[in-house]
Structure 1
Amino acid sequence: MAETKTASFPSTQPAEPGGTHKRRLLRPMVAMIGMVVIIVLIIGGVKFIQISKLIAQSKVPQPPAVVTTINAQFADWQPSVSAVGSMKAVRGVDVTTEVGGIVRTIAFKPGLDVSAGDLLVQLNADADIAQLHSLEATANLAATVLKRDKAQLKVNAVSQAQVDADDADLKAKRAAAEQQQALVAKKTIRAPFAGRIGITSVNPGQFLNPGDKIATLQTFDPIYIDFNVPQSQLEAIATGQAVSVTAAGLPKQTFTGKVSAIDAKFDPATRNVTIEATIDNPKQRLMPGMFARAVVESGAKQPYLTVPQTAVTYNPYGTTVFIVAHKKNGQGKDVLTAQQTFIQTGPTRGDQVAIVSGVKEGDVIVTSGQMKLKNGSPVKVDNRSVPLNAVSPTPQEQ
Structure 2
Amino acid sequence: MIIMIAVVLIIVAIIAGVKYTQISKLIAQSKVPQPPSVVTAMKAQFADWQPSVSAVGSMKAVRGVDVTTEVGGIVRTIGFKPGQEVAAQALLVQLNADSDVAQLHSLEATADLAATVLKRDKAQLAVHAVSQAQVDADDADLKAKLAAAEQQRALVAKKSIRAPFAGRIGITGVNPGQYLNPGDKIATLQTFDPIYIDFNVPQTQLQAIAIGQPVTVTADGLPKQTFTGQVTSIDTKFDQTTRNVTVEATIGNSAQRLVPGMFARASVESGAKQHYLTVPQTSVTYNPYGTTVFIATTTKNDKGEDVLTAQQTFIETGPTRGDQVAILSGVKEGDMVITSGQMKLKNGSSVKVDNSAAPLNDAAPTPQEK
Cα displacement string for residues 173-211 of structure 1 (whole angstroms, at most 9, x for unaligned residues): 000000000011011100000011111111111111111
Task: Please show how residues 70-81 of structure 1 align to structure 2 within 5 Å.
Answer: 70-81=42-53
Structure 1 pair 54–170 and aligned structure 2 pair: CA distance change class (3 A): farther
Is the partner of 2:232 in helix, strand or coil? Answer: strand
Structure 1 CA distance for aligned equivalents of residues 291 and 114 of structure 2: 94
Q: Does 1:123 align with 2:99?
A: no
Residue of structure 2 equivalent to 1:185: 157
Query: Any stretches of 5+ residues in structure 1 without a counterpart?
Result: 1-47
Q: Indicate which of 336, 351, 362 corresponds to 1:379.
A: 351
The change in CA–CA distance for 1:261 and 1:179 in structure 2 (over 3 A counts) is same
Fraction of identical pairs, as percent = 82
Partner of 2:339: helix, strand, or coil? strand
Distance between the aligned counterparts of 2:84 and 2:279, measured in 1?
49
Q: Unmatched 5+ residue regions in structure 2?
A: 1-19
Name the SS of the counterpart of 1:321 in structure 2.
strand
Question: What is the rounded CA distance, in whole Å, between the counterparts of 2:131 and 2:369 in structure 1?
Answer: 95
Q: Tell me by how many angstroms 1:296 deviates.
A: 0.2
The code of the aligned residue for 1:72 comes to: A
Q: What number of residue pairs does the alignment pair up?
A: 351
1:66-215 matches, within 5 Å, as 66-215=38-187
Partner residue in 2 for 1:363: 335
**Could you report, residue by residue, the CA deviation over 1:289-334 in whole angstroms, capped at 9, with x for unpaired residues?**
0000000000000011111233233456554321012334445554
1:346 and 2:293 correspond: no
Q: Which moved more, 1:329-338 or 1:229-238?
A: 329-338
Partners of 1:53 and 1:187 lie apart in 2 by: 108
**One-letter code of the match for 1:202?**
V
Deviation at 1:128, TM superposition (A): 0.8
Matched, 1:237 2:209: yes
Letter in 2 for 1:132: L
User: Which amino acid in structure 2 is aligned with residue 245 of structure 1?
Assistant: V
SS at match of 2:75: strand
Counterpart CA distance in 1 for 2:134 and 2:30 is 128
CA shift at 1:58, angstroms? Answer: 5.1
Call closer, same or farther: CA 1:138–1:307 in 2, change over 3 Å. Answer: same
* Deviation of 1:74 (Å): 1.2
The residue type paired with residue 175 of structure 1 is A
The answer for the alignment partner of 2:269 in structure 1 is: 297
Which protein has the larger Cα radius of gyration, Structure 1 or Structure 2? 1
User: Against the structure 1 CA distance between its residues 227 and 395, is the aligned structure 2 distance closer, same or farther, given a 3 Å change threshold?
Assistant: closer
2:25 aligned with 1:59, yes or no? Answer: no
Q: Which moved more, 1:104-113 or 1:345-354?
A: 345-354
Structure 1 residues 243 and 165: CA distance shift in structure 2, 3 A: same
2:173 alignment partner, SS class: coil
Call closer, same or farther: CA 1:136–1:79 in 2, change over 3 Å: same
| One-letter amino acid of the structure 2 residue matched with residue 100 of structure 1 | G
Structure 2 counterpart SS, 1:305: strand
Amino acid across the alignment from 2:297: A
Distance 1:379 1:300 in 2: 40
2:78 aligned partner, one-letter code: I
For residue 125 of structure 1, report the CA deviation from its aligned partner: 0.8
Range 179-188 or range 60-69, more displaced:
60-69
Deviations 1:259-294 (A, max 9, x none): 000000110110000000000000000000000000
CA RMSD of aligned residues (A): 2.3
TM-score scaled to structure 2, two decimals? 0.89
Structure 2 counterpart of 1:123, one-letter code: L
CA distance in 2, matches of 1:314, 1:88: 42
Over residues 151-187 of structure 1, what are the superposed CA-to-partner deviations in whole Å (9 max), with x where a residue is unaligned? 1111111111111111111000000000000011011
Structure 1 residues 324-339: aligned runs within 5 Å: 324-331=296-303, 333-339=305-311
The corresponding residue for 2:253 is 281
Q: Distance in 2 between matches of 1:66 and 1:293?
A: 38
How far off its partner does 1:351 sit? 3.0
Worse-matched range after superposition: 87-96 or 64-73: 64-73
1:218 matches 2:194: no
3-state DSSP class of the match of 2:61?
strand
The structural deviation recorded for 1:364 is 1.3
Query: Equivalent residue of 1:391, what SS?
Result: coil
Greater CA drift, 332-341 or 143-152: 332-341
